[in-house]
Amino acid sequence: MTRLTKTSFFSLLWIVLLIPAFADLGALPSFAPDPRQIEHLRRTMTLLNTSTPEHRNTVRILFYGQSITLLDWWVQVAQSIWYSYPNANLIIQNRAINGHTVDMLLRDAESDLYPFQPDLIIFQAYGPEQAHEQFQQNIHLRTCADVMWQNDHYASWDGEPGEPQPASPLTPTNVNWHSFVFLPNAAARYGDCLVDVRTPWEAYLRTNRTSRTNLLQDVIHPNADGRQLMADIIRPYLAPRDGFVSPDPYNSQGVHTYRVGDQINWLNGALAVPFIGSRVDVIMGPGQSIPLTAEIDGQRPSALTNNWVFTRTTSFGGSGFPALLRVDSAAKLQAEHWELTVTAALGNNGFAFALHGSLTGDDGVGTNTMIFRSNSGRVVLHPEDWSLQYSVPGFTVSWDAVPLGTDTVYATPPADDRIESVITVAQNLADGFHLLLLNATGSGTPAIRAVRVYSPAERYAATYRGPVVEFTFGRGAVRQLQWPAWLPGWQPEQRVSMDPAAPWTPILDDPTLIQQKMAVEVFDDAPIGLYRLRFAGGFEGL
């Protein structure tokens, strides 16, 4: 992964300055982001725009995707953010992975994305649209992030752009379907910002009468000119704009801050905070430096299974590919270093291995072709999560188990009161009702200013717009259900009772594609017929 701090930023700046200015590329037709898309970045833009020398808002930005996102255009975008918002306390990282399509990133995200808890995600990847759908849901159900979804630039297989044609419905087999139909509709449903890269990219090629290959270094990756064009398309979405000063980014749509002495108060050396959410932070302020013991629902945070995560595993063969997309667990974890050592090659890309934990010790042997559960239960590996293709005996793969919170909060006045000093007590909790209890271990008033809670479910409910099943009448008892074709993986279901406990029955007939809609006929002779769409991943839309 790549993290851009101020030190690394300025060390990279000289590289950026060597890249030709956009004027050398040729003319870009008049282009400005759709302001309706930028509205979907309101929380991030408000955090950036309201940062002042006296109060520097912390903004966590994550670039995620595959090899295209690793190219240096992201540094140029980060550079622009640094210069545009000098008063913001920016934490910018790039955790993209070469060659990992969105269906692989779904599993990589367990160690890469959710523990980082970004305020803004800038994302582009290829892969199945059903996996894109699942990824969007996961992001919004597990973070409160704003999301910028980039559609695709012109690759070699897209052909040369011609003159604009009259608008006509695109079908899923068209090369423009993903960029101009699926992603815009998905972004609209989830309240995300669609970054339209493809339209200005095509306009640039057509206006300058140049081939798409002149912006590529191979069949898909942009060359230096293409990377400059990419940066210049994306940067305007995050440029300073008037009006982005509300709502309060710390008290709206899933993020709530409770101030000590206002909404919450100390009582006999204890601070009890009931909350609804999945993450809870403690914010330092004036007071005494006093250690505090923390409990969530009567348990120490370290005892909560969800409050732990495995880091990304080491890569293999210089590829940058993690050897495992994901490492699971079926038991309580502890802060520990893990090593897996290949012991024998078995042929057909199979191999045997032994597992060792720095505290657990030797924890079992297995192969990459079968589900492996370590003796302690602390490590569970699935065959589909292996990307390792380097089965030489003696080769090792390592990772760490790390907590997402803390059992002890060391309340200390911040060294720089302009920047919030934040300690996360717990995250990745079930998004519901919890009770935080902080107990002071000494006398005096602990240096805690506030407690902040994040509830992705609340934010999701405020921004998500579910799909609707259209119902058309036919002859007799035959009815037709229709739903948009840009809903891959959604299953129509039927129920014949208003009783909430009555089961929903999947409609298993293969639907027919009619332009941009899927359609299936149903025989509706029941007194009442209820219909819905349910995503294969378990999410329901009415």
Please check whether residue 312 lies inside any domain of the structure: no
Place of tokens 């070469």: 98
Is residue 391 domain-shared with residue 440, that is, in the same domain?
no
Split into its structural domains, the chain has a count of 4
Look up tokens 């559609």; give the residue: 151
Does residue 63 form part of some domain? yes
Q: Is 233 in the same domain as 294?
A: no
- Of the candidates 417, 442, 461, which is a domain's last residue? 461
- How much is the mean pLDDT over the chain? 89
Q: Are 298 and 272 in contact (CB under 8 A)?
A: no
Mean pLDDT, rounded, for 364-371: 96
- Say what the pLDDT of residue 107 is: 95
Give the CATH number, domain containing residue 27: 3.40.50.1110
Say whether both 43 and 127 belong to one domain: yes
Question: Does 114 map to a domain?
Answer: yes
β-strand 193-195 against 146-150: which pairing, if any? parallel
- SS3 string, 119-175, reads CEEEEECCCCHHHHHHHHHHHHHHCCCEEEEECCCCCHHHCCCCCCCCCCCCCCCCC
End-to-end CA distance of the chain: 39
Read off the CATH number of the domain in which 535 is found: 2.60.40
Q: How high is the pLDDT of residue 525? A: 63
The answer to whether position 375 is within a domain reads yes
* CATH number of the domain that residue 416 is part of: 2.60.120.260
Asked whether 452 and 255 are in contact (CB, 8 A), the reply is: yes
- Residues 31 and 64 grouped into a single domain: yes
| Shared-domain flag, residues 137 and 264 | no
pLDDT at 31: 80
Residue 423 near residue 279, CB atoms below 8 Å:
no
Same domain, 126 and 214: yes
Residue 246 in any domain: the answer is: no
Closest to 397 (Cα-Cα) out of 455, 342, 360, 449: 342
Question: What is the distance between the alpha carbons of residues 194 and 135, in angstroms, rounded to a whole number?
Answer: 15
DSSP string for residues in 183-207: HHHHHHHHTPEEE--HHHHHHHHHH
Residues contacting residue 160 through CB under 8 Å, at least 6 positions apart = 205, 211, 212
Looking at the fold, whether 356 and 234 belong to one and the same domain comes out as no
8 A C-beta contact, residue 536 and residue 492:
no
Residues 15 and 119 in one domain: yes
195 and 99 together in one domain: yes
Res 514: pLDDT: 81
Indicate if the pLDDT at residue 21 is higher than 50.
no
**Axis crossing angle, helix 73-84 with helix 6-18, rounded to the nearest 10:** 120
Q: Is residue 250 part of a domain?
A: no
CA distances from 510 to 506, 513, 517 (A): 12, 10, 13
User: Could you read off the pLDDT of 38-91 as tens digits, one per residue?
Assistant: 999 999 999 999 999 999 999 999 999 999 999 999 999 999 999 999 999 999
Identify residue 434 by its one-letter amino acid code. H
Residue 529: pLDDT band (50, 70, 90) is confident
Confidence (pLDDT) at 485: 85
Of 438, 461, 484, at which residue does a domain stop?
461
In a domain, 224, yes or no: yes
If asked whether residues 385 and 423 sit together in one domain, one would say no
Facing residues of 486 across strands? none
141 and 216 share one domain: yes
Task: Give mean pLDDT, residues 487-502.
Answer: 84
Does 346 fall in a domain? yes
Is the pLDDT at 299 greater than 80? The verdict is yes
Dist CA 219 CA 68 (whole Å): 12
Q: Do 36 and 127 sit in the same domain of this protein? A: yes
Structural domain span for residue 457 = 255-300+407-461
pLDDT tens-place string over residues 212-237: 999 999 999 999 999 999 999 999 99
Question: What is the model's pLDDT at position 15?
Answer: 34
